[in-house]
Structure 1
Amino acid sequence: MVNKEWAKVKPPLSAPVLTSIDKQKYQFMTPIQAAVIPLILSCKDVVAEAVTGSGKTLAFVVPMLEMLLKKHKDSPLRKDFVYAVIISPTRELATQITKVIQEFLEEPELSHITLALIVGGRAVDKDVETLQKGAHIVVCTPGRFEDLLAERKQLNLAGRVRELEFLVLDEADRLLDLGFTATLTTILQYLPRQRRTGLFSATQTKELQDLVRAGLRNPVVVSVKEKSTISTPLLLENYYIIVEPQDKFLFLLNFIRNRKMVKGLFFLPTCACVDYWADVLPVFLPGIKVFAIHGKMKLKRSKILEKFREAENTILLCTDLMARGLDIPEVEWVIQWEPPTHPAALVHRAGRAARGGAAGCSLLPLLPTEDTYVPFIKTNQLVELKDWRESSDEIKVTEKLRDKVLKILHDQQLKDRTILDKGQRAFVSHMRAYSKHECNLLLQFKELPLGHIATSYGLLKLPLMPEVKPEHKLQFQGPKEEIDFNSIPYRDKQKEESRLKKLEEYKKTGVWPSKKKKKKQAQSESWEQAKQSKEERKQKKRKRKETKQNTEVKKGKKRRAVTQAEIDELAADVALIKKLKNRKISKEQFDQAFDG
């Protein structure tokens, strides 16, 4: 177990000699690199745990390239073989790792090594074609790699990995959180056992320990921590602020306006929340570029992330998709709408700032009913949250400001029904996510003032939810004037034309037209009809069960009726048939014996 303060240290003298390329590019190594690189190069399996932003990527990239260089000197690397596989939980992280490796491969000594990025979101045929051209190193996501291992007709990837030297599971705990346990088990079955394996993560879990036992042989566990009292980088300052639910957006808006940040990350609870605030927030932040990214953006994500990296004075609205592994050094502030569903995610979210020894800050607004989260997270995750109210920067929220902001939010929805729909979906998805919170003993859904929260969203009306009580309706602050919701148009002309046709039909029939007509018809059945149909289904099921049981009983009786005498008689008949076949008896003798 290795425990060191955060500081850049020279490689230990006992470590295997690194290439001149590595010495030129990296004269110093971080503690995790100094601990892990010698172990991997001495043919050890490694389970590495270190705080986010501590340099885990280079801790496996450098020894991987060193191993391939050594193997190439012994015998040239074959074009059709894969010698190293790096499995990452997301496409974004896989792309980032690929770029790091590409920088090394630009050196003449490493130019013979080929690299392939294999992720979902594109045609499998393209990945097959890429691997057919040759890839000594494959950086991939687990689902796509499993698909390619099962594909035998064109590629036979299972045959190409039989000389595999090194397997890396990056952010291994996140791989398991996303439900890739079965996929990883399948992948491990295809890979040779005589290989080096590295598991890298910021946290250790029971599931991860199970995977270690299944996939590693006598691994060395390395845990590099900066202090025994915290689990985030030393130069990261973590703050919290208690705000009233109806003022949360106002506070965060003013907070962002008052910061002259180069880059900031704003974590929201769900994909629907990201979509809604991405539409309405730019109006309030004219001097700041607002980007949005979440897991349902299959093809756009890479382009959006690249634009965010290149921009300045910008903020990225995102879900926990961006909480793990991604390295954007300029991020100064991490802002969160509320505590993440899993406590460990708070460490990963905050760790997007203060990377590589730089300074950074994070802010978590909490409702008055959520104040117990502060001591909980200190005990559970070793994260100490400082009270922002004790700082010199005071963020004021006035009644006048609230009315002004709400007016702008309402106007945006009145001009475009799409924003109205997105706001409703965002609020509902947020409440559902909150109700499934892992810390539901501290963050209780029943204590939420839903009306005040809907006010903070700037909604025109409260969504139709069974959880919305009369007291919530009294809390809600909607538009002051009466609104005819049927008159709110879509800005998209095609959608608006479709909506008007449906509205016309609704006025005639009293039923809103939908593709799910069959379902509606079933729902409109009378109670008596529904009861009768249910009884008929029960009777049919009962008859099938009885028929099956009777058949099994008959078969059972038939089997029990076979006696030893019948078996002996059958054996005698078989013996007669064999004698006839071998011409030991004539046909007449056979007939006489068989009939007798």
Structure 2
Amino acid sequence: MATSTAYAGVWSSLPTTLTPWIADVVSSLGHTQMTPVQAATIPLFMKNKDVVVEAVTGSGKTLAFVIPILERLIRRETKLKKNEVGALIISPTRELATQIHSVFSLFLKAQPTEEVAEGEEPPERTYPDPLLLISSDQSSPAQDVQRFLQSGADIVIGTPGRIEEFLLGRGQGSVSARELEVLVLDEADRLLDLGFQVSLTRILTSLPKQRRTGLFSATMTDALGELIRTGLRNPARVVVKVQSKQTRKHAGGEVIEERRIPANLENLYIPCRTSEKIVQLARIIQHEAASRGASHFIVYLSTGACVDYFYRILPRVFPSTSTSPIVPVLHSLHGNLPPAARTRTLAAFSTALATPQAPAVLLATDVAARGLDIPHVDVVVQVEPPADPKAFSHRCGRTARAGRSGRAYVLLCGREVEYVDFMAVRKIPLKRHPYILAAASEDMDVGEDGDEERLEDADVGRVQDAIRDFVRTDRTLHDLGAKALVSAVQAYSKHQASYIFRLKDLDIVGLSKAFGLLRLPRMPELRNTDPAGQGWADADVDWSTYAYADKAQEAKRLAEQAAKKTQTADRAEAAMQRRNKKKSNSAWSAQQDRRDEREKRREKKVTKRKWERTSKKAEAAEGEKAGEKATGQGEGDAVPAKRAASACSDDEGNDWKELAREERMAKKLKRGEVSQKAFDAEFGDL
């Protein structure tokens, strides 16, 4: 592997000589020679050519557009008016925009000033300070326009939303882009990934066509094609590749390997179990600090919730994995933090006076993956590979910058080792590093097929116990841990290389061990899982008394708990009332049935009387018939009476007999010969 950065000549070899004070700043920064991307891009920009630049991180892309912009503005025949923009730089994140702004400010502060007599005010610098447009509590879009008009800034740097508002919103009519010399889109592919395409199209349409445009990024995507066609005119493509020589003994010669990462970067992966990831993270930091003197680390986690949780938890992990006196100083950075907090964190980490005994560790999401130039970062650790494979090289590129060497680790579990081949296709080679044991000087290779043949690291249990002991002190930590785990699982399901990172293969129980959770959260992904079979046991916690350290939050919990008890009691009472009502309704229903039965009996009695009367008539008719039979008369008169008697059915006759029996029983009841209970039992009148 190459051990030095390639250079492409001294600055004086440029076709256009640099302005002396610009050359002095470049020299003071220690850049005695140009990098390939600078040597290829600066002359093109100076010759009125649009450029599309693709180069690895840390290759000097920022100076490749800062210097041409300054030189073009200096060489203008007419000075820009106070309301005119000369150069516009658009960045996807506020951190990158702030960094670019600081580079321009560094150059502009070095402008020479004229000598003045005593008592006279010094003249203003020829070129005012650049204007930074980012979301901030200290400046609204209206104030941005006001600051621009007051300062007369020639160079404007910002994020797409603020720049769109600056040009087409609050600043429309006040800000003029008619004299725009240069437009730069830094990390252009990221601008599109974050959904800024609509804003970019509106901005591009409002800018003059007679301008120079540059697109800069470490990776280019197909989506940039549309942007290139609409915003650039016959652009020159600049692609700077990194090559390293590798000697293959079996071939007996050197093979040129193309890479998309800095030549001085050693890219490593460690196979381990999911439950061992946090243990390995702590050991990597201890190992690099103790053996290589590393003092600045960036650790990438999948979500902001994970960053918040491990920012609290990691100090408890290090004493459990080693007796080393290393005590890291942690910093956290993610997109959910307020802008001011993100700025403070980045500044604190960048300026930290870290040592191997007290290394500075930045826990971050991909918000810190692109464009940030922190030259003294020694090691990058990726606990999880990024969901977007393009971000992998950007993460690694935070180290080994500006000619320095660096190391980058990624932790892979089980079939995730296939990610190595996936990255190799993208010209990002990864070298296997043995599993790091408790003693920093000892490593253990777990074999090509993963870690199935060895027992789980003993430190996993110790770390889990240490985290649990700390989490028991504050219920807030438990909530953070559960939220972090759920967000990590959701992020895992969104990996673009889904055939490698399959959610069904993720060891969620092992991940819960690594997080030191007290109990498993309720998740659909754990529905068919047997945690006990995977060595999981919930912590012994009385959840009714497990309290928040914050008094206001604890008071709220107790109030909710009391309200829940009241609600439970109310539900029980309501259930009792429903049962009682059901019984009451049941009694009413029985009474109604008895009333219906009595009504039926009355109807049958009426029918019986009619039948008896009809029967008597029929009997009388039969008697007359018998008498008339002797005389041969009255035979026809008996037929209607007989037919009337037969109109009653046999069933009705039986019912009437039953009614007769009931009447007899009722008479006995009145005489006291039978009891009411016996009567009700006989005739069902309950």
Asked whether the two chains share a fold, i.e. TM above 0.5, the reply is yes
For the 8 Å contact 2:375–2:402, the answer to whether it is kept is: yes
Counterpart of 2:24 in structure 1 is 24
Counterpart of 2:407 in structure 1 is 361
1: CA distance between counterparts of 2:510 and 2:375? 37
- Equivalence map 1:443-458=2 (5 Å): 443-458=501-516
For residues 46-93 of structure 1, the C-alpha deviation after alignment (integer angstroms, 9 at most, x for no partner) is 11111000000000000100000001xx22221221110000000000
For the 8 Å contact 2:95–2:372, the answer to whether it is kept is: yes
Post-superposition offset of 1:394: 3.3
- Equivalence map 1:124-163=2 (5 Å): 124-133=141-150, 134-152=152-170, 155-156=171-172, 159-163=175-179
Q: Which runs of 4+ in 1 moved over 6 A?
A: none
- Equivalence map 1:312-461=2 (5 Å): 312=354, 313-379=359-425, 381-389=426-434, 393-395=441-443, 400-461=458-519
Post-superposition offset of 1:157: 5.9
Aligned to 1:326, the other structure's residue is in SS state coil
RMSD of the alignment, in Å? Answer: 2.3
1: CA distance between counterparts of 2:414 and 2:509? 15
1: CA distance between counterparts of 2:215 and 2:539? 59
Post-superposition offset of 1:126: 2.6
1: CA distance between counterparts of 2:177 and 2:143? 19
Post-superposition offset of 1:478: 5.2
Post-superposition offset of 1:407: 1.3
Post-superposition offset of 1:243: 0.2
For residues 441-483 of structure 1, the C-alpha deviation after alignment (integer angstroms, 9 at most, x for no partner) is 1111111121111111111111111110343523565566532
2: CA distance between counterparts of 1:316 and 1:104? 28
Counterpart of 1:287 in structure 2 is 327
For the 8 Å contact 1:151–1:157, the answer to whether it is kept is: no
Equivalent of 1:491 in 520, 527, 549: 549
Post-superposition offset of 1:31: 0.7
Query: Between Structure 1 and Structure 2, whose CA radius of gyration is higher?
Result: 2
For residues 304-331 of structure 1, the C-alpha deviation after alignment (integer angstroms, 9 at most, x for no partner) is 1000011112000000000001000110
Post-superposition offset of 1:283: 3.0
Q: 1:180 to 1:475 in 2, by over 3 A?
A: farther
For residues 252-297 of structure 1, the C-alpha deviation after alignment (integer angstroms, 9 at most, x for no partner) is 1122122212100000001111111111112335721100010011
Counterpart of 1:34 in structure 2 is 39
2: CA distance between counterparts of 1:358 and 1:487? 53
Post-superposition offset of 1:209: 1.6
Q: Please say which of residues 196-205 and 396-405 is displaced more in the overlay.
A: 396-405
Counterpart of 1:89 in structure 2 is 92
- Residue identity matched to 1:394: E
Q: 1:99 to 1:511 in 2, by over 3 A?
A: farther
2: CA distance between counterparts of 1:511 and 1:5? 74
Post-superposition offset of 1:160: 1.4
Counterpart of 1:252 in structure 2 is 281
Q: 1:159 to 1:106 in 2, by over 3 A?
A: closer
Counterpart of 2:643 in structure 1 is none
For the 8 Å contact 2:100–2:157, the answer to whether it is kept is: yes
1: CA distance between counterparts of 2:173 and 2:40? 33
1: CA distance between counterparts of 2:487 and 2:126? 50
Post-superposition offset of 1:7: 2.6
2: CA distance between counterparts of 1:249 and 1:173? 32
2: CA distance between counterparts of 1:192 and 1:481? 65
1: CA distance between counterparts of 2:189 and 2:6? 23
Q: 1:119 to 1:502 in 2, by over 3 A?
A: same
1: CA distance between counterparts of 2:382 and 2:14? 44
- Residue identity matched to 1:18: L
2: CA distance between counterparts of 1:184 and 1:265? 31
Aligned to 1:504, the other structure's residue is in SS state helix
Gaps of 5+ in 2: 27-31, 114-124, 244-256, 319-325, 445-454, 571-686
Q: 1:375 to 1:393 in 2, by over 3 A?
A: farther
Post-superposition offset of 1:8: 5.1
- Residue identity matched to 1:237: E
Q: 1:189 to 1:399 in 2, by over 3 A?
A: closer
For the 8 Å contact 2:5–2:403, the answer to whether it is kept is: no
For the 8 Å contact 1:417–1:488, the answer to whether it is kept is: yes
1: CA distance between counterparts of 2:40 and 2:239? 9
- Equivalence map 1:572-583=2 (5 Å): none
For the 8 Å contact 1:265–1:315, the answer to whether it is kept is: yes
- Give the paired residue count: 505
Q: 1:161 to 1:406 in 2, by over 3 A?
A: same
Identity of aligned residues (%): 40
Aligned to 2:561, the other structure's residue is in SS state helix
Gaps of 5+ in 1: 513-596
For the 8 Å contact 1:241–1:364, the answer to whether it is kept is: yes
Post-superposition offset of 1:128: 2.2
Aligned to 1:377, the other structure's residue is in SS state helix
For the 8 Å contact 1:16–1:38, the answer to whether it is kept is: yes
Q: Please say which of residues 393-402 and 155-164 is displaced more in the overlay.
A: 393-402
Q: 1:55 to 1:505 in 2, by over 3 A?
A: same
For residues 412-450 of structure 1, the C-alpha deviation after alignment (integer angstroms, 9 at most, x for no partner) is 221111110010011001111111110001111111121
2: CA distance between counterparts of 1:419 and 1:325? 33
Equivalent of 2:259 in 208, 230, 238: 230
Counterpart of 2:309 in structure 1 is 276
2: CA distance between counterparts of 1:96 and 1:472? 50
Counterpart of 1:117 in structure 2 is 132
Counterpart of 2:196 in structure 1 is 180
- Please state if 1:62 is matched with 2:67: yes
- Residue identity matched to 2:21: I
Counterpart of 1:543 in structure 2 is none
- Equivalence map 1:422-571=2 (5 Å): 422-474=480-532, 477=535, 482-510=540-568
1: CA distance between counterparts of 2:174 and 2:106? 28
- Equivalence map 1:36-55=2 (5 Å): 36-55=41-60
Counterpart of 1:569 in structure 2 is none
Aligned to 1:440, the other structure's residue is in SS state coil
For the 8 Å contact 1:451–1:474, the answer to whether it is kept is: no
